[in-house]
C-alpha cells in the first residue's frame, strides 16, 4: 500500500520527490485513516498469527481517556535510600534509554500471564475475569510528547500499588512466583519475565512525569491513580472510569520525544519484544505477528516457516542449509533454534575473529542481539536464537553475569552442534560434504582455538580429506581412517600438497605407497597447523610422511651401491657446495623415481615457520634454523651423471647440485618464492648451453 502510494505521489509530483516529503504525506494519510477508524473496535486477535500472517486491516484500540481522578490525593514519600536508588535506576543502570519500553512491555506481559493463570486455576477469579482479552496496547501522541502503555492484566489494589510502585527492587512478579512455589504449583511460570522489581522505574530515564491508572481484577476493586515526577514523592488517588488492568501514561522529556513516534515504537517492539506471548497493538494495529518458533514443537513447524524465520532473525536472503531445533531442561534450561546458512560465507566472515549471529533471549525477551559468549567464536557462522530461563542476568537485564552457568550453556550448545553435524555427515553425506567445502575453515579454526584435547578430537571428527586408497574426490574422516588401519600401524599419516597429482608424485609418498599404507592428502597449506594443534586422534599420533621418512632414514641400512667410492666423493663435494645450506648430506634407500629429498626435524612446524618468516630473514639464518638434511638416491640416473661430470665440468655440476637442493626445498614446502627457483634455474640453463 505504501509503495503504491509513493508511486502515485511520485508520478503526480515528479521523480525528484524527496523521501522526507513522501513520509510527511504518508503520515498525513495515516493520521486521517486513524481518525476514520478510531471508533471501530474489533475482537482481539488470537495470541499468535501464522508466520506468514499479514497485519490486520482494522484497528483495535482500548486506550481511551475515560479516567477521572476523584477524591483527595494521598501523598507518600520515597525513603531517602529509595530516592538514591531511583536516581541510579533512572540515570545509570541501563546502557541505552530505549530499553525502558522493553521493561514496561515485560511488566505488562507479566500482568497478563498472572491473570491467565488466575483464570485457569481459580474458579471464582475466572468468573470475575470472564472472557477478557489479554492484550497490550500502546498509544503515541507526538504533539504532546506522550506515550501510553495499557494492559488488560491483573491490575493492582491500593496496597499493591503502594508496595510495588513505592518500593524499588520489590518485584511483584517474583512475589507471585514465590506464592506459587509455596503452593507447589508452578503452573506456566515460564512466561513470567520480571525478576528484580526495577523495570518500571526505567521510565524515568525518558519521563518528566509518569501517571498510572490501575484497577485490580478482584471483586469490588476501586480505580486508582498514581503519579510521580521521579523526585522524592508520589501521590495516590481514587479514579473513575478506569478499565481493569493497568495504564501507564509517560510524559516524555524534550530530548526523548522520539519515543512518542509510532515508527520508533514499532522498531523497538520488533527489536526487543516481538515474541511476547500476548498481542501488542500500537495505535490499534497489531505489531508482533511472528511466532517464536523455538518455543513450539518442532513437528508443528513447516520448512516454509523455518525459511521465513531464518530470513527474519538472520537478516539474510538465502535459506537454511540445516536446521537444529534443540530443547532441554537438564543440565540447564535451553530452547535453541540454530540455522546453518546455505550461502557460502563472505571473506569478512571468515577472517573476523569475533561477532555472532545468534540472539540471546530470556523468556522470549531479547537480552542481546549478538551474544558472543554463548557459543565459541568458531561457530560464528550460525544464525538463530537461544532462549534460557536459567541464564544469570544482571540487574539491567542487558549483560550476562560472569558465571559458570554461561560456560555450561556454551558447552551444552557446542556439544549439541557437534553431535548434529556428525548426524548430518552420516545421514546426509552429500549435503554435509557440500557444507564442509564451504565451512571447513571454521571447523579447523575450532581445532586450533579449543584448549581441551577431548574437544579438539570431537571437532576433528568432522574434518574430511581425500585418501591415497580412495577414489579422487571421495572424502573420508579421521574415524574412517582409524577403523581400517592394520594392528601394527601406530600412526596416522598425512601429506600436505597443492593437489592430488602432486601428492601422488611426491618423493615422500613413494615408500608408503610401496608398503600399501594409507595416507591422507591435505590440499590446504594451513592443514599443517591443524594437525600440529590436534597432535593425535584416538591415541594415534598424526605424523607427516616427511617426518616419518626422516625417522626411517635414520634407522634404515644403507642401500646397495655399485659405485660407492664415486658416491662418497660426490657427497664430500656436495658438502662443500652446499655449505651453509645443508646441515647434513647422506644417501637414502627410501627413494626410487626421485633423485633427492630434503628432510627437516618437525617438518610441519618448519613449514609453518617459513611461510611466516621467509620474507623477513636472510637465507643463511633460515638454513641455520631449519638445519635441513639433503638425502640422495645413489641409484638415480641424475645422481650417477653428477658423479661423471663432477670432475669434467665442475661449474655445471655445482649449479646442478644447488638446483637439486633448491628443488627439494621447494618440494618440501620450505621455499615458496618462485624468484629463488627461477634465478638458479636460469643460471643452470645458461651453463648447460655454453658449449653450443
Q: Which residues are annotated as a binding site for ATP?
A: 103, 107, 151, 156, 164, 171-172, 195-200, 246, 397
236 half-sphere exposure, CB direction, 13 A CA radius: 19
Contact between 630 and 664 under an 8 Å Cβ cutoff? The reply is yes
Strands, E assignment, 315-394: 320-328, 334-341, 357-362, 365-368, 383-387
| Helix boundaries (H) for 341-499 | 347-351, 404-427, 429-449, 453-460, 478-483
Binding residues: 103, 107, 151, 156, 164, 171-172, 195-200, 246, 397
CB–CB of 345/259 below 8 Å?
no
The pairing of beta strand 466-467 with beta strand 357-362? unpaired
Helices (H) and strands (E) in the chain, counts: 24, 22
Helix (H, G, I), strand (E, B) or coil at 612: helix
CA 12 to chain centre: 47
ω into residue 331 within 30 of 0, thus cis? yes
Angle of helix 99-121 relative to helix 262-272, nearest 10 degrees, comes to 60
> CA–CA separation, 559 vs 390, rounded Å?
69
Helix (H, G, I), strand (E, B), or coil: what is residue 340? strand
Q: How far apart are CA 37 and CA 31, in angstroms?
A: 10
Asked if 526 and 444 touch (Cβ cutoff 8 Å), the reply is yes
136-141 and 320-328: which strand pairing? unpaired
Return d(Cα 474, Cα 480) in angstroms, integer.
12
Helix (H/G/I), strand (E/B), else coil: 393: strand
The residue assigned the cell 525459511 is 307
User: Distance (Å, rounded) from C-alpha 321 to C-alpha 298?
Assistant: 17
- Which residue in 523, 336, 376 sits closest to 459, CA to CA? 376
Burial of 605 (0-12, 13-18, 19+ CB in 10 A): middle
**Neighbour tally for 354: CB within 10 Å:** 8
Amino acid at each position: 500500500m505504501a509503495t503504491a502510494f509513493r508511486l502515485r505521489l511520485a508520478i503526480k509530483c515528479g521523480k525528484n520527490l524527496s523521501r522526507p516529503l513522501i513520509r510527511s504525506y504518508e503520515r498525513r494519510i495515516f493520521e486521517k485513516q486513524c481518525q476514520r477508524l478510531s471508533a471501530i473496535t474489533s475482537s482481539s486477535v488470537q495470541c499468535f498469527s501464522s508466520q506468514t500472517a499479514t497485519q490486520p486491516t482494522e484497528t483495535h484500540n482500548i486506550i481511551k481517556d475515560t479516567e477521572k481522578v476523584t477524591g483527595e490525593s494521598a501523598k507518600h514519600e520515597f525513603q531517602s535510600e529509595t530516592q538514591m536508588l531511583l536516581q541510579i535506576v533512572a540515570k545509570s543502570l541501563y546502557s541505552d534509554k530505549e530499553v525502558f519500553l522493553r521493561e514496561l512491555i515485560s511488566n505488562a506481559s507479566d500482568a497478563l500471564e498472572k491473570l491467565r493463570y488466575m483464570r485457569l486455576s481459580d474458579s471464582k477469579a475466572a468468573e470475575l475475569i470472564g472472557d477478557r482479552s489479554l492484550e497490550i496496547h500502546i498509544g503515541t501522541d507526538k504533539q504532546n510528547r506522550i506515550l501510553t502503555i495499557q494492559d488488560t492484566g491483573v491490575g493492582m489494589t491500593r496496597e499493591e500499588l503502594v508496595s510495588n510502585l513505592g518500593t524499588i527492587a520489590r518485584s511483584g512478579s517474583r512475589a507471585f512466583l514465590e506464592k506459587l512455589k509455596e503452593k507447589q504449583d508452578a503452573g506456566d511460570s515460564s512466561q513470567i519475565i520480571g525478576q528484580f522489581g526495577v523495570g518500571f522505574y526505567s521510565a524515568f530515564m525518558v519521563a518528566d512525569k509518569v501517571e498510572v491508572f490501575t484497577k485490580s481484577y478482584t471483586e469490588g476493586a476501586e480505580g486508582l491513580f498514581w503519579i510521580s515526577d521521579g523526585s522524592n514523592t508520589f501521590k495516590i488517588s481514587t479514579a473513575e472510569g478506569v478499565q481493569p488492568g493497568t495504564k501507564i501514561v509517560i510524559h516524555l522529556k524534550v530530548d526523548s520525544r522520539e519515543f512518542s513516534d509510532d515508527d520508533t515504537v514499532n522498531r523497538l517492539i520488533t527489536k526487543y519484544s516481538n515474541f511476547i506471548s500476548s498481542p501488542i497493538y500500537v495505535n490499534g494495529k497489531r505489531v508482533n505477528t511472528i511466532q517464536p518458533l523455538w518455543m513450539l514443537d518442532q513437528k508443528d513447524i513447516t520448512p516454509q516457516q523455518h525459511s521465513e524465520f531464518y530470513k527474519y532473525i538472520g537478516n539474510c536472503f538465502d535459506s537454511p542449509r540445516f536446521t537444529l531445533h534443540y530443547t532441554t531442561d537438564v543440565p540447564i534450561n535451553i530452547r535453541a533454534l540454530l540455522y546453518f546458512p546455505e550461502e557460502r560465507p563472505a571473506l569478512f566472515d571468515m577472517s573476523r575473529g569475533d561477532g555472532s549471529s545468534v540472539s540471546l533471549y530470556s523468556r522470549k525477551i531479547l537480552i542481546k542481539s549478538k551474544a558472543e559468549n554463548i557459543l565459541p567464536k568458531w561457530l560464528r557462522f550460525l544464525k538463530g536464537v537461544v532462549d534460557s530461563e536459567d541464564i544469570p542476568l544482571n540487574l539491567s537485564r542487558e549483560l550476562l553475569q560472569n558465571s559458570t552457568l554461561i560456560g555450561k550453556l556454551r558447552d551444552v550448545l557446542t556439544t549439541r552442534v557437534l553431535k548434529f553435524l556428525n548426524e548430518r555427515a552420516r545421514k546426509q553425506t552429500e549435503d554435509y560434504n557440500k557444507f564442509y567445502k564451504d565451512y571447513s575453515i571454521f571447523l579447523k579454526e575450532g581445532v586450533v582455538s579449543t584448549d581441551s584435547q577431548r574437544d579438539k578430537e570431537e571437532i576433528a571428527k568432522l574434518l574430511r580429506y581425500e585418501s591415497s586408497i580412495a577414489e579422487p574426490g571421495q572424502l573420508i574422516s579421521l574415524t574412517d581412517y582409524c577403523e581400517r588401519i592394520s594392528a601394527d600401524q601406530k600412526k596416522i599419516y598425512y601429506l600436505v600438497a597443492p593437489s592430488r597429482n602432486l601428492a601422488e608424485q611426491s618423493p615422500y609418498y613413494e615408500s608408503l605407497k610401496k608398503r600399501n599404507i594409507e595416507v591422507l592428502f591435505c590440499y590446504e597449506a594451513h592443514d599443517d597447523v591443524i594437525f600440529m594443534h590436534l597432535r593425535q586422534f584416538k591415541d594415534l599420533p598424526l605424523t607427516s610422511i616427511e617426518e616419518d621418512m626422516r625417522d626411517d632414514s635414520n634407522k634404515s641400512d644403507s642401500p646397495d651401491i655399485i659405485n660407492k667410492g664415486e658416491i662418497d666423493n660426490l657427497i664430500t663435494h656436495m658438502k662443500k657446495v652446499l655449505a651453509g645450506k645443508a646441515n647434513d648430506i647422506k644417501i637414502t634407500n627410501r627413494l626410487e623415481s626421485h633423485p633427492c629429498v630434503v628432510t627437516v626435524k618437525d617438518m610441519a612446524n618448519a613449514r609453518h615457520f617459513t611461510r611466516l618468516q621467509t620474507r623477513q630473514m636472510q637465507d643463511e639464518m633460515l638454513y641455520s634454523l631449519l638445519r635441513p638434511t639433503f638425502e640422495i638416491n645413489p641409484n638415480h640416473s641424475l645422481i650417477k651423471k653428477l658423479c661423471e661430470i663432477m670432475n669434467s665440468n665442475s661449474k655445471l655440476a655445482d649449479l646442478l647440485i644447488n638446483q637439486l637442493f633448491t628443488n627439494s626445498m621447494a618440494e618440501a614446502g620450505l621455499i615458496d618464492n618462485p624468484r629463488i627457483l627461477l634465478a638458479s634455474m636460469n643460471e643452470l640453463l645458461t651453463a648447460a648451453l655454453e658449449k653450443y
